[in-house]
C-alpha cells in the first residue's frame, strides 16, 4: 500500500511553564513545512508517543537530570514510528524505530549530530510498537533496572522478600510487580480504584493490591494485612502520604527505590517530604533515586529477557491507547495526573 | 590510696515520658542499698557517663532500634568506671571497663545474664576514660563505620570527594571530619557559633566550617562557597532545614548518611521530612540510615586504627566534661539540645 507523504509537520510546542496542573495556555500547535533532508538525516513518521509523568518535570525550569524543554520548543516525548525518508546509511525507508521523537507527526533526526536522540531500530517480532513504548521501552527499562540494580532483591532468601509497588497499574508499576513475581518475591501493589486492583491481582498475578482510594487508612491497613513480614523493597512512583505510610512498615535493610513522585509533580506548594524518613535510621534502610538513562548500555539485555517473558506469556503488557493525534496531547497528558489511565498511556498518531 | 566503698547506689530513673524537651518532671532520683554480689556478677563504680542525642529517643515509647527505657527504670547510658567488686572470673577489682552502665553511681552486671550490657575492658594506654566515651567509644565507632561503611568514600578519586558533616563540633561530627581528612577528602563542617567553627577549622583541620546561626541563608551560601564541586557525602546528625539545604547541593551518586536528627528529637509536631528528597532521584543519590551496634564485631579494628591516630596526634579528641554527679544529669542532657556543648558531652561522677 502506498501512503501519500505529508508535506507539513504538526507540532506541539511548550508555550509557557505551568504552575500546577498544565492547562491549554501551556501549549501551542504549529504546522511547519517539511524541509528536504540534509546528508546524515532521516525522517520518521511518528505512529505513537509515550506519555510519562516525567514530562511534567521537563516542563519546569531549572536543573534536573535532563535539561528542561525550552519555551517555543517541541515538547519532548519518546515515540515510535517508521522511517519515511533517509539520507543516513544506517536507516532505510520502512525501518521501524523508536527514539526521542517529540510530540509531532514527523521527526527529522541526524543521530551523529543530535544529542539525546535515543534513535534505535525496534524489532517488531519481539513486541508491538506500543509494547516498545511500554515493557520493551523506557517504563520497562525503568522497572527492570530500578528493581534489579537499585531494589537489589535478595534472590537467595528462602521464603522470598516482600516488594510493594505504588502506581501498580501504571506503566512502570505493572512491570515491576510482574518481574518481581517472576523472581520469586511476594508482591503487593498499591493502585487507585477497585478495577485497577482487580486487574493487578487477577491478570498480572500480584499477591495483593491495595486500593488507596478506599479510605484514609486503606494503605496502612492494607500493608498490615498483606505484608505480615514487613516490606523489604518499596518501589515508589508516587511519593506523598503513601511513601510515609510504607516507611512505617519497612524491614531492616529495606531498599526504597525513588523512581517518581507523581502525587507531588503538580504541587504549587513545596514537595511533601517524607516525615517518617527516620525509619531509615531505625531500620538501617536505604532510599535511593534512579534515572533509567544510566542503564542504556544494558537495555539490550533487559529487552531480551523481557521479550522472552512476553512471548511465553509470563508477562503481560497493557497499554491505554488514546487517539486524536497530536492535538489530543494536552488532554491525554493530564489523564496521567488524575489517575485515569489504566496501563501504559500512549497517544496514537495514526487514524 | 584506699577508697571507702559506698553502701548505696544513687540512680536516675525515668519517671515519665517527655513531651518535647525533657523537664524535671521526667526524672526521679533514688538511693538503693548495694546488695551482695551473686555468682557471675561484678560491680563497677561509674566514673563518667556519656550524654548522647539518642537518649532522647530511648525516652519515647514505641518501636525503635532498641527498646525504650521503662518508666521507673534506671536511665540508659554508656559509661566508664572501675570494677570495685567481682564474683566473675574474667574481671578483677581495679579493672577499667566501659559498658551500658546507666545513669547511676554503681553498676552491677552479670555479662552472661544481662542482655545489651556492652561490658568490656578498656585499655587506658590507648586513651583516657573520657576518650573511651568519645573517639574510642560509641561516637567514634559511629563516625568510623558511618563514614567508611555507609558513606563509602571513593578513595581513588584523584582530587578527592567533598564531605559535609553537621554537628561538626559534636561527638560524632568531630571524628567524622578528622577521619575524612585523614582519608583525603575535602571536609566542610556545619556547627552553631563562631567559636565552634573556629575550633573545627583551626584545631581539627577541616577545610571550612559553616556557622548555621550566622543568618537564614548561611548554610546555603556557605555550601556554595566551600563546596564548589558539590557534595559527595553528607553525614547528617541534625535533620531539619539543614538536611534540605544540603540535598540541594549533592552530586550524582552522593551518599547521605542518616546518623541522627537532633533538630527533630524534641518536636511536639511531626518530624519535618526532607522536602528536597527528590534530589535523590535527580542525582541518583542514596540516603541510608545506620546504627552503630551493627558493627560491634569490628569495633576492635576501628579502635586500633583510631588509637593510632590519637597517639601520633593526627586526631584530636575534645570532651566537654560536666560535673555535679548523677544529680546534674537532667540539666546536662538538655545542653545537648540547646547546642551548648562543645565536643563530646560527658558527665563526671567523680569529685
pLDDT value for B158: 64
Whether the Cβ atoms of residue A133 and residue A345 lie closer than 8 Å to each other: no
Q: Is B66 helix (H, G, I), strand (E, B) or coil?
A: coil
Q: Is A223 helix (H, G, I), strand (E, B) or coil?
A: helix
Residues of A in contact with B258 (CB under 8 A): 277-278, 280-281
Choosing among B251, B278, B279, B292, which should be mutated to test the A contact, i.e. which has the most A CBs within 10 A?
B278
Decide the pairing of beta strands A344-348 and A42-50. antiparallel
What CA–CA distance (Å, rounded) separates B199 from B178? 12
Whether the Cβ atoms of residue A172 and residue A183 lie closer than 8 Å to each other: no
CB-CB under 8 Å, A291 with B287: no
* Closest alpha carbon within chain A to B240: A275
Take residue A36 and report the three cell numbers written for it. Answer: 528536504
Structure ipTM = 0.90
CB-CB under 8 Å, B270 with A284: no
CB-CB under 8 Å, A289 with B244: no
Whether the Cβ atoms of residue A188 and residue A229 lie closer than 8 Å to each other: no
Each residue's pLDDT tens digit, A316-350? 998 999 999 999 999 999 998 888 888 899 999 99
Q: Is the dihedral of CA B123, B129, B134, B135 positive or negative?
A: negative
CB-CB under 8 Å, B273 with A276: yes
CB-CB under 8 Å, A280 with B258: yes
Q: Is B16 helix (H, G, I), strand (E, B) or coil?
A: coil
Take residue B286 and report the three cell numbers written for it. Answer: 542514596
DSSP B325: G
Residues of A in contact with B244 (CB under 8 A): 273
Residues of B in contact with A291 (CB under 8 A): 281-282, 284
Full set of structural domains in chain A with CATH: 8-134+318-348 (3.90.180.10), 138-293 (3.40.50.720)
Choosing among A150, A262, A277, A290, which should be mutated to test the B contact, i.e. which has the most B CBs within 10 A?
A277
pLDDT value for A1: 46
Each residue's pLDDT tens digit, A135-194? 999 999 999 999 999 999 998 876 789 999 999 999 999 999 999 999 999 999 999 999
- How many CA atoms does the CB half-sphere of A319 hold within 13 Å? 24
Take residue A205 and report the three cell numbers written for it. Answer: 498475578
A286 has which bridge partners?
Answer: A255, B288
Each residue's pLDDT tens digit, B255-270? 999 999 888 888 888 8
CB-CB under 8 Å, B270 with A273: no
- How many inter-chain contacts (A to B, CB under 8 Å) are there? 109
Mean pLDDT within B48-66: 89
B108 has which bridge partners?
Answer: B43
CB-CB under 8 Å, A281 with B286: no
Contacts of B82 (CB under 8 A, 6+ apart): B44, B45, B47, B94, B95, B96, B97
CB-CB under 8 Å, B289 with A282: yes
Residues of A in contact with B276 (CB under 8 A): 271, 273
pLDDT value for B1: 46
CB-CB under 8 Å, B280 with A258: yes
Each residue's pLDDT tens digit, A62-115? 877 889 999 999 999 999 999 999 999 999 999 999 999 999 999 999 999 999
* Closest alpha carbon within chain B to A269: B275
Q: Compute, in degrees rounded to 10, the torsion defined by CA atoms A253, A257, A258, A262.
A: -120
Whether the Cβ atoms of residue A325 and residue A105 lie closer than 8 Å to each other: yes
What CA–CA distance (Å, rounded) separates A254 from A257? 10
Whether the Cβ atoms of residue B13 and residue B30 lie closer than 8 Å to each other: yes
Residues of B in contact with A286 (CB under 8 A): 286-289
Q: Is A253 helix (H, G, I), strand (E, B) or coil?
A: strand
Whether the Cβ atoms of residue B15 and residue B25 lie closer than 8 Å to each other: yes
Amino acid at each position: 500500500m502506498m501512503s501519500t507523504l505529508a508535506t507539513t509537520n504538526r507540532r506541539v510546542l511548550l508555550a509557557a511553564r505551568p504552575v500546577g496542573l498544565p492547562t491549554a495556555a501551556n501549549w501551542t500547535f504549529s504546522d511547519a513545512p517539511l524541509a528536504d533532508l540534509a546528508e546524515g538525516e532521516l525522517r520518521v513518521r511518528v505512529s505513537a508517543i509515550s506519555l510519562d509523568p516525567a514530562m511534567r518535570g521537563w516542563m519546569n525550569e531549572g536543573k534536573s537530570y535532563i535539561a528542561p524543554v525550552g519555551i517555543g520548543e517541541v515538547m519532548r516525548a519518546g515515540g515510535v514510528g517508521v522511517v519515511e525518508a533517509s539520507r543516513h546509511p544506517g536507516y532505510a525507508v520502512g525501518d521501524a524505530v523508536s527514539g526521542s521523537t517529540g510530540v509531532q507527526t514527523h521527526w527529522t533526526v541526524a543521530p551523529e549530530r543530535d544529542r539525546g536522540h535515543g534513535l534505535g531500530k525496534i524489532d517488531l517480532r519481539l513486541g508491538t510498537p506500543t509494547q516498545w513504548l511500554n515493557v520493551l521501552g523506557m517504563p520497562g527499562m525503568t522497572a527492570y533496572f530500578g528493581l534489579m540494580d537499585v531494589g537489589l532483591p535478595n534472590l537467595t532468601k528462602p521464603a522470598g522478600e516482600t516488594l510493594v509497588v505504588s502506581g501498580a497499574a501504571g506503566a512502570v508499576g505493572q512491570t515491576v510487580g510482574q518481574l518481581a513475581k517472576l523472581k520469586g518475591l511476594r508482591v503487593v501493589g498499591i493502585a487507585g480504584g477497585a478495577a485497577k486492583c482487580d486487574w493487578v491481582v487477577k491478570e498480572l498475578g500480584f499477591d495483593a493490591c491495595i486500593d488507596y482510594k478506599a479510605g484514609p487508612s486503606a494503605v496502612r491497613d492494607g500493608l498490615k494485612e498483606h505484608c505480615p513480614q514487613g516490606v523489604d523493597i518499596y518501589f515508589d512512583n508516587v511519593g506523598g502520604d503513601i511513601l510515609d505510610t510504607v516507611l512505617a512498615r519497612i524491614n531492616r535493610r529495606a531498599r526504597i527505590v525513588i523512581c517518581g513522585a507523581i502525587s507531588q509533580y503538580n504541587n504549587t506548594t513545596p514537595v511533601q517530604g517524607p516525615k517518617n524518613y527516620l525509619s531509615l535510621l531505625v531500620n538501617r534502610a536505604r532510599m535511593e533515586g534512579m534515572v533509567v538513562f544510566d542503564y542504556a548500555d544494558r537495555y539490550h539485555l533487559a529487552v531480551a529477557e523481557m521479550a522472552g517473558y512476553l512471548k511465553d506469556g509470563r508477562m503481560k503488557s497493557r497499554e491505554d491507547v488514546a487517539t486524536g493525534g497530536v492535538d489530543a496531547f494536552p488532554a491525554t497528558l493530564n489523564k496521567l495526573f488524575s489517575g485515569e489511565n489504566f496501563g501504559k498511556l500512549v497517544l496514537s498518531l495514526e487514524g
